[in-house]
């Protein structure tokens, strides 16, 4: 049997919190992150005639997402009048960076400030860039806080929740390219010109992306647009705690890679760790994963499993985990628990994580990473929190797994 939850780990009193804050659009909105349709509509509002909109849109799109223009003045393919008009009505603002940390291994963490409601304090979310030899992964947020209440997750304890707009979702990718000087340079051609530091995006920061469906869908469509930021959908991974109906919808309307925060192999335990399980139990979750469009050995589903000492880390759990995903093109990402002040959980011992990973590996579910096995699995993903402290060693280890989505 798997570890049974102790009374100490009693279920959270509710499954979901209501979002408390709304986005209040500034008087002069940013064009960053608008879908093609919304951008065309925005051009219409300032009097760009319909017959010109397609061409102007294409030009602006190029400046925004290939060149990274931060000022309308840079958009030299547009007339001076149009540039001035755009400047009068819109901005090219990205989320505001309030702190930047660069770790010795090149990982960068940005604390971002987003506007709150009038008179309320601004909100903060984090965005993390994880460089690797063959790719660079950007971990982005979908909400300030999270409406869900997973008991091991710091974000879940946060009271305030606001959905990010599509613009704020795209804005994280845009500002990472700004900070990394990762835009295509004018006059540079050939394969080098096409190479970007930010090559992959994972929605594994704050929030439950599938509870902010439209903004995430629209934002990711901009990120994946081949004439702009141009990250293929195979390089975008959306992580969800298991919002079953929206997983199906994500398959149809987003088409990114999928990661599932599984964390337990029985409903009894998952009801406690991921209370949303009471609404969408494991069986339903597995069924929707099996039917996720495009799943194949080349496009496998990632199952995330946080290692909690004495809770879900027995070898019986490991075997049950392998049984659960049997027959599905799957990867298993073991995540060392990243502790936070006030948590009742502890991270499993390294030795236990290794043993657990051995069972998973022997069943044919190795993480396809280059470093020696075991080490791969120790380098796992953590959670982001709104504080400006330095990345701890464990956080650094934890963050590396987010990059392991291939």
Contact pick of 126, 208, 313, 406 for ligand SF4 (by CB under 6 A): 208
Build a one-symbol-per-residue string for 230-259: x at contacts with ligand SF4 by CB under 6 A, - elsewhere. Answer: -----------x------------------
For ligand SAH, the closer CB: 108 or 154: 154
State yes or no: is 346 an active-site residue: no
**Residue 381 partner contact from ligand SF4, ligand SAH, none using kind-dependent CB cut-offs of 5 to 8 Å:** ligand SAH
Cα-Cα-Cα-Cα dihedral sign, residues 137, 178, 144, 91: negative
Q: How far is the CB of 83 from ligand SF4 (least distance, A)?
A: 41
CB atoms within 10 A of CB 187: 6
Two structure tokens written together for 324 = 């659960």
Contact pick of 12, 43, 144, 146 for ligand SF4 (by CB under 6 A): 146
Question: Which of 124, 126, 168, 304 does the annotation list as catalytic?
Answer: 126
For ligand SF4, the closer CB: 150 or 176: 150
Two structure tokens written together for 60 = 């602006």
Residues in the chain: 406
Q: DSSP secondary structure string, 81-137?
A: HHHHHHHHH-B---PEEEEEEE-TTS-EEEEEEE--STTSPPEEEEEEEEE-SS-EE
For ligand SF4, the closer CB: 86 or 381: 381
For ligand SF4, the closer CB: 15 or 66: 15
304 makes contact with ligand SF4 (CB under 6 A)? no
| DSSP 8-state code for residue 343 | -
- Contact residues: ligand SAH, CB under 6 A: 146, 152-154, 204, 207-208, 239-241, 261, 304, 306, 335, 337-338, 381-383, 398
For ligand SF4, the closer CB: 59 or 157: 157
Q: How far apart are CA 359 and CA 374, in angstroms?
A: 11
Question: Which of 146, 150, 153, 381 does the annotation list as catalytic?
Answer: 381
Build a one-symbol-per-residue string for 56-75: x at contacts with ligand SF4 by CB under 6 A, - elsewhere. Answer: --------------------
Cα distances from 319 to residues 315, 322, 323, 327, in angstroms, run: 6, 5, 6, 14
State yes or no: is 139 an active-site residue: no
Task: Tell the residue number behind the tokens 């589903």, with chain if given.
Answer: 301
How deeply is 38 buried, as exposed, middle or buried, from its count of CB atoms within 10 A (0-12, 13-18, 19+)?
A: middle
Query: How many alpha carbons lie under 13 Å from residue 111 in its C-beta half-sphere?
Result: 14
- The residue ranges that bind ligand SF4 (CB under 6 A) are 146, 148-150, 153, 155-156, 207-208, 241, 261
Q: Which residues are catalytic?
A: 126, 381
């Amino acid at each position: 049997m798997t570890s049974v939850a102790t009374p100490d780990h009693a279920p959270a009193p509710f499954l979901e919190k209501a979002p408390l804050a709304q986005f209040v659009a500034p008087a002069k909105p940013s064009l960053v992150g608008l879908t093609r349709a919304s951008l065309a509509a925005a051009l219409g509002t300032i009097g760009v005639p319909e017959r010109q909109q397609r061409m102007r849109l294409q030009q602006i799109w190029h400046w925004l997402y290939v060149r990274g223009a931060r000022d309308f003045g840079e958009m030299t393919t547009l007339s001076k009048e149009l540039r001035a008009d755009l400047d009068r009505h819109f901005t090219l603002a990205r989320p505001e960076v309030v702190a930047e940390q660069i770790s010795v291994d090149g990982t960068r963490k940005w604390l971002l400030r987003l506007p709150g409601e009038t008179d309320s304090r601004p909100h903060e979310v984090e965005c993390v860039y994880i460089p690797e030899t063959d790719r660079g992964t950007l971990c982005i947020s979908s909400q300030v806080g999270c409406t869900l209440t997973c008991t091991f997750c710091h974000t879940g304890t946060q009271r305030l929740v606001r959905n990010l707009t599509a613009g704020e979702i795209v804005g994280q990718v845009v500002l990472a390219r700004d900070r990394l000087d990762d835009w295509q340079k004018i006059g540079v051609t050939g394969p080098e010109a096409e190479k970007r530091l930010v090559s992959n995006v994972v929605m594994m920061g704050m929030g439950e992306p599938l509870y902010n469906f439209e903004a995430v869908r629209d934002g990711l469509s901009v990120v994946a647009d081949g004439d702009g930021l141009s990250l293929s959908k195979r390089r975008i991974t959306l992580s969800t705690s298991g919002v079953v109906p929206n997983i199906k919808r994500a398959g149809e309307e987003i088409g990114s890679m999928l990661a599932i925060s599984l964390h337990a192999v029985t409903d009894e335990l998952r009801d406690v760790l991921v209370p949303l399980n009471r609404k969408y139990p494991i069986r339903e979750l597995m069924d929707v994963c099996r039917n996720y469009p495009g799943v194949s050995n080349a496009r496998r589903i990632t199952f995330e499993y946080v290692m909690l000492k004495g809770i879900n880390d027995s070898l019986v759990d490991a075997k049950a985990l392998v049984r659960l995903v049997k027959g599905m093109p799957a990867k298993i990402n073991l995540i060392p628990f990243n502790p936070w002040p006030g948590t009742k959980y502890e991270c499993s011992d390294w030795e236990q994580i290794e043993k657990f990973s051995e069972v998973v590996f022997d069943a044919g579910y190795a993480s396809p990473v280059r470093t020696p096995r075991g080490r791969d699995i120790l380098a796992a993903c953590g959670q982001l929190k709104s504080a400006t402290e330095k990345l701890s060693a464990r956080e650094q280890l934890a963050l590396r797994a987010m990059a392991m989505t291939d």
